[in-house]
Structure formats: structure tokens, C-alpha cells
A and B are shown apart, each in its own frame.
Chain A
Amino acid sequence: MIEVKNLCKHYGDKKAVNNISFEVKDGEILGFLGPNGAGKSTTMNMITGYISSTSGEAIINGVDIMENPKKAKSFIGYLPEIPPIYVDMTVKGYLNFVYDLKKCKLPRSKHIKDVCDLVKITDVEDRIIKHLSKGYRQRVGLAQALIGNPPVLILDEPTVGLDPKQIIEIRSLIKRLGKNHTVILSSHILSEIQAVCDRIVIINKGTLVADGTADELANNMSGDHKMIAQIEGPRKDVYKAVRNLPDVVSVVADMERGENVFDYEIETKPGTDVRKALNKLIRERGWDLLMLQPNILTLEDVFLKIITGEHEMKQALSEEQKKNIATAVDIHDKVDAAAGDLREVLEGIEAKKKAEAAAAEEENASEEETAEADEVSETEETSEAETDAEENKGDEE
């Protein structure tokens, strides 16, 4: 059990970590998220007693890390961002050293062998760490944290440098460990956090901005209603028709999936359902609907939203800030719309240019033939002019 209460770390005027509180229950895996420099590692360093806190407390299994560091540290297995491994030692030698360092009481050779088996480094246990790849070093670092079977594990990006197979192995290992350990896990890989963690804490600029399960966070954040429709049909027409459906707020078509096939991100008014209308429209026009997917807010979206400050969670924003955000969102929407219009205009111009080029070519060809048949060319030219005009008309639409 880990209790973090009002933890602060100030470097001069800079508040690296500002008033963070959370709790991790026994047998819980807590995911620790945040952009680079948010204060994740600083917080972990404070919990593990590597650095002191400016104020606040971190309590591990009921022992304050500042008051009784030796005892509190004995509960923790810590894998820092850079594994603290001595590269001039063999894996076995190093783990034996850690065993001594932690004053371990478990049967030595059996325990070390068990840990090696757990993180799958048994085959390299006699090699010098210097000669191991990054993935193996990372696993030696993890082994080091597991020595002594501490009840609390704090892992700072444990899967960095591993190949996909190893990542899956380590994840399932962490999940298994989570059953009888308290785990704090930080990672940049959101899917990893989602796959492994029971609960997620997001910090940004040193403050805690979200705390909850992945689903809770996604629900809390679901301020918008989007779906993605993959439709086969002329892009311009589809765009326009969909945009004109009732209750549709905006349409973005930027993912080309094939010839005449596009993904359209459709945002609708809250509490409305445009699926039927959309379906009807597509049938009427003779297009094809290839896919329709509600755009469920992924953890990525939640994370980005929180980090970019679009959505306020616990932090109450001032009125002015709210207004600024609203303006920014408004401008963003307008720019988006304008960009869509501009794209249409550009496409029109391009089509026009193409048509003109084609016309000019035909003209050249016909000029060569003038001597032979003047009358015929005249009629051809008129018909060309007609088609040109038609096309221009179409573009303007």
C-alpha cells in the first residue's frame, strides 16, 4: 500500500512536482502517465527515497520514507529510468550483489535462479552485462527490482528497449506480479498502461490532472460525439451531402483508403443519431458504405486532451482561461472549415487546369488538321468550349 499525500518538490522557483496526492492499494497496478518532464520520475524518486520532498509525505506500507527510510526502502523494488546496473559485472555477480545489498533472507541461489527464470535471463546469467543488448539489460534491471520479493514495485518505463515479444512477456509478468504486489508503473506507451493497469494517474507540469480507471477517464472526457464512416463515392459530393445532413456538426475527410474511398470523421450534435439518415443518403445516391465505427475515445485521446488542457478535470479553470479555450476551439473549428472549403476550391482549380490542358492539346492536334478539314475543326472547338463550360460549372458547385 502506497499513500502519497501533498507531495511537492521545488527546485528554486520551479515546481517540479506540486501537491500530488494519490493512493495505491495492495495488489493494485497503478499506471503513471504524463508527457516528458511532467514530474513522473521526480515523483517516483521521492517515493523511493532517492531524493527528498520539499513538503508532503510518501508512506510505504505504513512507513514514512523520510522518517524511516531504511525500513521503507526495504519494502520497495525500484527500477529507475536508467537501470542501476554495473556493466563490468556478470549478471549473476550483479544479482548476488543486489541480494547482499538488500540484506535478503530468502535462500540465495534458489531465489536468484527464480528471479532469472521469471524475467528470462537464465541463459545469459554468466555473461558480463557490458556485452548484453539493451533488452537484456532492461530485464536485468527488472530482476534487480524483484530480488528480495519486495511487496511494492516501482517501475519507471520497464519495457523500454524490449522487442515486441519481450514486451508482451514483461507485461504479462507485471500483471502476474500485480496480483500479490503493489505496483506503480510509468510508461509512454498508452496501450501498455491500458493493458496492464487497474488504475491510471495522469500528471502534467507537476500537478495531478486525472485519476481513475481507463474507462472512467474515457467516460469523463467524452465531450464529443464522433464516428468514422468509410464511404465509396466522389469525395466532394459525399462531403457536401453528409455535411448537409441534419445534426451533423462537422465532417473531416482526410484519410484516403482507395480510389474514391475515404474515411469521413463525422461529428454530430450530442444526443443525436445520424446513422439511419446517413445510411439512407448513401443508398439513395448509390454510394457504398464500407465501414461505420463510433469513434470511442481511446486513452490516447484522453491523454492528449488532458495534456493539451482542452478539458478540465479536477483543476477548476478561471473564467478567462475557459473563455480563451473556447475561443481557441472556435478558431480551430473555423480554420478547419475554411481548410475544407479551400481544399474544395483547390480541387476545382486543379480540375479546371486539367481540363484546360486537355483542351489545349486537342486544339493543337486539330490545328494540324485544319488544312484538311476546316469545317470539322470548327464544330469540334465549339463542342470543346461547351464541355469546358460544363466542367467549370461543376467545379463551382
Chain B
Amino acid sequence: MGAIFRREMGAFFSSAIAYIFLGVLFEIAGFFFINGTLSYGTADLSGTFGSVFLFLIFLIPLMTMKLFSEEKRQKTEQGLLTAPISITEMVLGKYFAALALYTIGISIFLLFALIIEFFGGVVWATVLSNFVALFFLGAAFIAVSLFVSTLTENQIISAILGFLALLVLYLIDSIANAVNVEFISKILKTLSFYARYNEFVTGLFNLSSVLFFVSVAVVFNFLSVRVFEKRRWS
């Protein structure tokens, strides 16, 4: 797992992906930080945290799009699958590499908090709880789009499908509201990523939501493993 993690981190930074991902994320976060926090003269970072959700939907698939699809296209996965490691180790190595890059990206929010701290008045508990929520939200999103990447050998298709999958998760609230059958609507609402994330933004630390995000990550990583197992057996 360590070998794959290190290789993927190296590949992120030796290609343009890490720089594009980090650059765009910093730009968007910076924009909302200046526009939503600094220009209002407030120490509240919630708006900045809240705004970034939508942009993760296309940034995360960009980051994960090639992780498996490219292996498949270049036939390098054969090297991984015949190495003395389990498929789970392989999937998790890639997953944690993506998660590490993502964590580097969202660390900018801690920097923002430090900047505000300069002027005094940061409520660290809120900032940290927001940060934790953003981290686990990303953890779930990465697992979903990584799973999508196992399904195709084309990076572009992988990115677009990943984007669509995350978009559906984002729009689940609207879908829930549109559904007339009450229990379906209720189920969909409990699956809402946005509502759960928004709770944190408004200052409520909900452990069940953290567990929800972690469960999603576990389920989709498990599905990725199954994709490889299934292909081996077909």
C-alpha cells in the first residue's frame, strides 16, 4: 500500500494534475475568502466553507480520473495485480494518495483562519469542525469518483461520469423535494450530502454525519475492490 501511495503522490506532482487541482481550489477558496469574509470585515469563515462544496463536485473527479483508468489503458495494472499485494491494498493506496492531495488542498482554510486570527476573533471550534466536515465530505466524494475510475479506461469518460455521480449526490435534496411519495423523499433526504455538510457550516457538529461520510467511503472503496475481483473472475 505504501509503495502505491508514494508512487501516486509522485505522479500527482510530476504531472500537472496536482498543480491544477491545488491551483483551482486555492483560487476558488481564495475568492470566497476575500469576497465572503474579508470584504465583510467578519471573522466568520462559514460562508467560505459553504461555497466550496459545489466546486468539489468537478475538482475531485479531475483529481481521481486517471487513477485506475490510466492503469487499465496502459496495462500497468497487470503489474499491480500480479504483485504480492492484495487488491484492497492497491485500491487503498490510490485512495489515500488522492485523499492526501485533497487534504493538502483544503489546508488552505486553516491558513485563512490563521490570517483572521491575526486580527483576532476566530472561533477555532467552528473552524475545526468545518474542516473536519470538509475532510470527510471529500473522503466520501473521492471514494465515489475513484470507483467511477475503475469502470472505464478513458480518463475523460471517468471524469465526466465522476462529475455526474457527484452532481446527483449534490442534487439529492432537490430530487427529494420533487418526489411526492413521502417515504422515498425521506430516504433521499437522509442521504443528502449537502444538508449534512450544511449542518457543520451552520456550526453544528454531527457525529452521525461524519459516520455517514466514512460509510460512503468504505462502501465505494469496497465496490472498487469488487470491480477488480469481478474482472479477474469473469
B42 in the interface (beta carbon within 8 A): no
Q: Could you write out 16 A-B pairs with CB less than 8 Å apart?
A: A45-B78, A48-B82, A49-B82, A50-B78, A52-B233, A70-B84, A73-B84, A80-B79, A86-B7, A87-B74, A89-B10, A93-B10, A101-B3, A101-B80, A102-B84, A103-B84
- Which of these, B74, B85, B232, B233, contacts A101 with CB under 8 Å? B85
- The answer to whether residues A50 and B2 also contact, given A70-B84, A82-B75, A102-B83 and a CB cut-off of 8 A, is no
> Within 8 Å of chain B (Cβ to Cβ): is A144?
yes
**In the complex, the 5 A-B pairs of residues with the closest C-beta atoms, listed nearest first:** A84-B79, A100-B3, A74-B84, A101-B3, A73-B84
Known A85-B79, A86-B76; 17 more pairs at CB < 8 Å: A49-B82, A52-B233, A78-B78, A78-B79, A80-B78, A80-B79, A82-B75, A84-B74, A86-B7, A86-B74, A89-B10, A93-B10, A97-B3, A98-B79, A98-B83, A100-B3, A101-B85
- Whether A52 pairs with B232 at a CB distance below 8 angstroms is yes
The one of A11, A84, A88, A101 in contact with B4, judged by C-beta atoms closer than 8 angstroms, is: A101
Smallest CB-CB separation from B233: which chain A residue?
A: A52
With A52-B232, A78-B82 known to touch, is A84 a contact of B75 (CB < 8 Å)?
yes
What's the minimum C-beta distance from A9 to chain B, rounded to whole angstroms?
A: 10
Q: Assess whether A76 is interfacial by the CB under 8 Å rule.
A: yes
Number of interface residues of B (CB under 8 A): 25
CB-CB < 8 A to A78: which residues of B? 78-79, 82
Q: Indicate if the CB atoms of A73 and B7 lie closer than 8 Å.
A: no
Q: How far is the CB of A83 from chain B (nearest CB, A)?
A: 8
Secondary structure dominating the interface of B = helix
With A and B bound together, what is the CA distance between A73 and B76 in angstroms?
16
Number of inter-chain CB pairs below 8 Å: 72
Kindly state whether residue A343 has any CB partner on chain B within 8 Å: no
- CB of A25 closer than 8 Å to a CB of B: no
Which B residues touch A89, using CB under 8 A?
7, 10-11, 14
B186 at the interface (CB under 8 A from A): no
Per the bound structure, the CA–CA distance linking A87 and B74 in Å amounts to: 9
What residue of chain A has the Cβ atom nearest to residue B14's Cβ? A88
Contacts of B215 in A (CB 8 A): none
Kindly list chain B residues whose C-beta atoms are within 8 Å of the C-beta of A52. 232-233
User: Pick the contact of A70 from B3, B80, B86, B234 — CB < 8 Å?
Assistant: B86
B14 surroundings in chain A (CB, below 8 A): 88-89
Residue among A87, A97, A102 making CB contact with B6, cutoff 8 Å: A97
B71-97 interface (Cβ within 8 A of A): 74-86
- Is B15 interfacial (CB-CB < 8 Å)? yes
Could you say which residues of chain A place their CB within 8 Å of the CB of B78?
A: 45, 50, 78, 80, 82, 84
A80 to chain B, nearest CB (A): 5
In the assembled complex, A326 has its CB within 8 A of some CB on chain B: no
* Residues on the B chain within 8 Å of A98, using CB: 79, 83
Determine the chain A residues whose CB is within 8 A of the CB of B84 once the complex forms.
Answer: 70-71, 73-74, 102-103
* A241: interface (CB < 8 Å): no
Q: Which of A25-78 contact B (CB under 8 A)?
A: 45, 48-52, 69-71, 73-74, 76, 78
- Set of chain A residues within 8 Å of B75, measured between Cβ atoms: 80, 82, 84
We find that the number of chain A residues with CB closer than 8 angstroms to chain B is 30
Is B11's CB under 8 angstroms from A101's CB?
A: no
B10 / chain A contacts, CB cutoff of 8 Å: 89, 93
Chain B residue with the shortest CB-CB distance to A99: B3
Interface residues of A in 71-122 (CB under 8 A from B): 71, 73-74, 76, 78, 80, 82, 84-89, 93, 97-98, 100-103
Q: Which residues of A contact B11 (CB under 8 A)?
A: 86, 88-89
Please give, as numbers and ranges, the residues of chain B lying within 8 Å of A88 by CB-CB distance: 11, 14-15
Which residue of A84, A85, A103 contacts B77 across the interface (Cβ within 8 Å)? A84
Hey, which chain A residues are within 8 Å of B81, CB to CB? Answer: 49-50
Q: In the complex, which residues of chain B have a beta carbon less than 8 angstroms from the beta carbon of A97?
A: 3, 6-7
- Docked Cα-Cα span, A88 to B74, in Å, equals 11
User: How far, in angstroms, from A52 to B78 measured CA to CA in the complex?
Assistant: 13
Asked if A100 and B2 sit within 8 Å, CB to CB, the answer is yes
Tell which of B6, B79, B86 touches A100, judged by Cβ atoms closer than 8 Å: B6
Q: Which residues of the other chain, A, contact B233 by a CB distance below 8 angstroms?
A: 52
Most buried by B among A11, A76, A93, A100: A100
By beta carbon, the residue of chain B nearest A76 is B82
- Is B6 in contact with A84, judged by CB distance below 8 angstroms? no
In the bound assembly, the distance between CA atoms of A172 and B79 in angstroms comes to 25
In the complex the two chains form, what is the Cα distance from A280 to B76 in whole Å? 65
Taken together as a complex, chains A and B put the C-alpha atoms of A256 and B2 apart, in Å, by 65
Q: Which residues of A contact B4 (CB under 8 A)?
A: 101
Query: How many Å lie between the Cα of A114 and that of B7 in the bound state?
Result: 22
Q: Across the interface, which residues of A come within 8 angstroms of B85, CB to CB?
A: 70, 101, 103
State whether A50 and B76 are in contact (beta carbons under 8 Å apart), knowing that A97-B3, A101-B4 are contacts in the complex: no
